[in-house]
Chains A and B, each alone.
Chain A
Amino acid sequence: MTSLALAPRRIGTGLVDEVAVSMEAVGKVYGSGAERVVAVEGVDLEVHRGDFLCLVGASGCGKSTLLSMIAGLDRPTRGRIEVAEGRPALMFQEPALLPWLTVADNVALPLRLQKVARNTRHARVAELLRLVHLEGFARKRPHELSGGMRQRVALARALAQTTRLLLMDEPFAALDAITRDVLHEDIARIHVATGVTVVFVTHNVREAVRLADRVVMLSSRPGRVVAAWDVEIPRPRRMDSPEVATLSACVTDRLRDEIRRHGHR
C-alpha cells in the first residue's frame, strides 16, 4: 500500500487541532424580493482533520446546500469557507456512476482527469477496489451491480481523488437496512484506515450517532447550527447498541423540539 497512506488516527476528540474545513458566518440566500429564501444563515463550524462529522436536521435545513458550498459547487452569499486541501471528494444519494464505463474505469476517472500515469492508475484502482471489497468486479458495468455495490464503487471513486476530505450527501438513504449496515461498516473501516476527514449529511439520527465523532444539528429555514454532540461511544459500534440508542434518543428529542418550533410560527 503506497499512495493511500495510513494516516495516524486521532483518538477521542480534539487531540489534533489541524482544521480541514472552517466556516465563518456562512450564509446562503436564494432568489430576491418576495421569492427570497434564506437557506443557510450564520453558520460557524470547524471540521478537524480526520474527524467524522455528521450534519443532521429536518428537511429544508440547508444541509445539502452547506455541503455543496464546501464542495465548491455552490458559492456562499455571505461569510467564508476555507477548505485546507484542494478539491474535496463528493458523494451523492445516487451513486451517479457513468454507465458507459466499467467499474474500474469509473474509479480511474478522477485519476485520469488528474493526469496520473497509467501504471500508477491501475495500481491505485486495484487498491481502491480492494478497499471497498469489489476486487472481483472491475470489469463489470454499473447496471450489472446492486445499489449497495454501486454506492461502494462511488465511494472508491470519491477516494480516488487525491483528497483528505470526503463529503457525503445522504449516501445511504436509498439502500435497504442490511446493505446500509454493511456500508456503515465499510465507511467506518475506511475512515479509520485512511484517516480521511468526512462530512456526512443525513436525516437519520441513528446513522449519524453510529458513524460520527461529532454530530451537528442544523435548524430549518434558515439553517443554523443549534446543537452539537461529541460522540464518545467506543468503536466498533452498532446501530442497535444501547449506547447508540440512548444518544440517538437525546438527539432526536432535540430535533423534535426544533421541528415543533416551526408549528408555532
Chain B
Amino acid sequence: MAIAELPNNSVEAGLDALALPVGGRRRRRRRILRVVVPKLVAAACLLGVWQLAVSLHVSADYVLPSPGDVWQTFIDQARAGNISEAVWTSLRHGFEGYVLAVLIGTPLGLLIARVRMVRYAIGSAVAALQSLPSVTWVPVGIIWFGLSQTTILFVVIMGAFPSIAGGLVSAVDNIPPLLLRVGAALGAHGVARYRHIVLPAALPGYVAGLKQAWSFSWRSLMAAEIITTGPSLGLGLGQLLDQGRVQVDMRLMLMAILVILAVGVLVDALIFAPLDRTVRRRRGLDVA
C-alpha cells in the first residue's frame, strides 16, 4: 500500500496501547471460592435449623422427618431406580414442552414486535398470559385431552411460550434506534435486516426470555404432573411427590421436592446461565 506513513503513527499506536486493559487475569479459583462458600454455609445453616427442630420434637415424625430420614429415603428410592426414572420422565416431558414453546413463542414474539396490527390485536393478551399461573390450565387440559401426555405438554407450553414471546418483544423494542439506522445506511433490508441486525441485536433479551421460560416450564410441568397421575403417564417427579401424599409419607414428599429443586437449578446452571453469560460477555455487558 503506497500510503505515506506519517510521523504521528507512533502517537496513534501509543493511544491504542493505552486503550487496552492492563493487569493480569482474574484469579478464577478465588472467585469460585467466594461464590461457592456462602452458598454452602447457608445450606448448612438451613440443615442445622431443620435438624434442631427435629431434635427438639417440635412436631411428630410423620409431619417433620429428620434430614437423615429424607436422605435415607433418597438412597432407597435411588436403589429402586425410581429417582432416575422420575428425573428422566420429567426432563423428557419438560424438554418436549419447552421446545414446542420455543417453536411457538419465537415467531409469535417476532410478529408482535414487528407487525403493528398483530401487536394491537394480541400483544397485551400474551403479556397477560405471562402473569396467569399455568396450573389453571391443568383442569382445562384434563377435560380437553384426558389424563394423557398431551395434557402435560399443553400445560408446559401454556406456561412457557408467553415468556419466550414476551422476552423477544421487549428485546426487539429495546434495540437502540442507532443500530437500525446504521443497518439501513449499510444496506441491510428485508431478510438481511433481520439476519444481520434485528435478531442478533435482540439476542441477549431473547436468551433472558429462554432462561425464564425454562423455569416456567419446569414449574408448569410439576403442577401438571402432581395433578394428572395415571398408569399411561409414567412416573415423573410430580407423580412421585403425589405418591408421597397418597401414602402420607412426608419423607418421600420432601425428598421429591428437593430433587425437583435440584434438577431445575442444575439445568439452569449447566445450560441457561452459561449461555446468558457468554452472550452478555461477548458484547461487553455486565456479567453479574
Judged by a CB distance under 8 angstroms, whether A250 is at the interface is no
Number of B residues, CB within 8 Å of A: 34
Q: How far is the CA of A130 from the CA of B12 in the complex (A)?
A: 13
Interface residues on A, range: 35 or more
Q: When the two chains form their complex, are residues A73 and B8 in contact, meaning their CB atoms are under 8 A apart?
A: no
B residues in contact with A179, CB < 8 Å = 15
B residues in contact with A148, CB < 8 Å = 15, 19
Q: How far is the CA of A57 from the CA of B2 in the complex (A)?
A: 36
Contact A96-B178, Cβ < 8 Å, known A133-B12, A182-B12: yes
CB proximity to B under 8 Å, residues A87-122: 87, 89-90, 92, 94, 96, 98-101, 109-110, 112-114
Q: When the two chains form their complex, are residues A90 and B185 in contact, meaning their CB atoms are under 8 A apart?
A: yes
Judged by a CB distance under 8 angstroms, whether B121 is at the interface is no
CB proximity to A under 8 Å, residues B43-75: none
Q: How far is the CA of A12 from the CA of B16 in the complex (A)?
A: 34
Which of B122-130, B196-204, B235-243 lies on the face that meets chain A?
B196-204
Q: How far is the CA of A247 from the CA of B6 in the complex (A)?
A: 25
Judged by a CB distance under 8 angstroms, whether B227 is at the interface is no
CB distance from B29 to the nearest CB of A (A): 25
CB distance from B60 to the nearest CB of A (A): 58
Q: How far is the CA of A148 from the CA of B283 in the complex (A)?
A: 18
Which of B33-41, B143-151, B186-194, B256-264 lies on the face that meets chain A?
B186-194
Q: When the two chains form their complex, are residues A98 and B200 in contact, meaning their CB atoms are under 8 A apart?
A: yes
Q: When the two chains form their complex, are residues A193 and B3 in contact, meaning their CB atoms are under 8 A apart?
A: yes
CB proximity to B under 8 Å, residues A138-195: 141-146, 148-149, 157, 161, 178-179, 181-182, 185-186, 189, 193
**A-B interface, 9 closest residue pairs, ranked by CB to CB distance from nearest:** A143-B284, A146-B19, A99-B283, A96-B182, A90-B185, A193-B3, A182-B12, A110-B186, A100-B200
State the B residues within 8 Å of A (CB): 1-4, 6, 8-9, 11-13, 15-16, 18-21, 178-179, 181-182, 184-188, 192, 196-197, 200-201, 203, 282-284
What are 7 contact pairs spanning A and B, CB under 8 A?
Answer: A92-B178, A98-B197, A100-B203, A113-B188, A178-B15, A185-B6, A189-B6
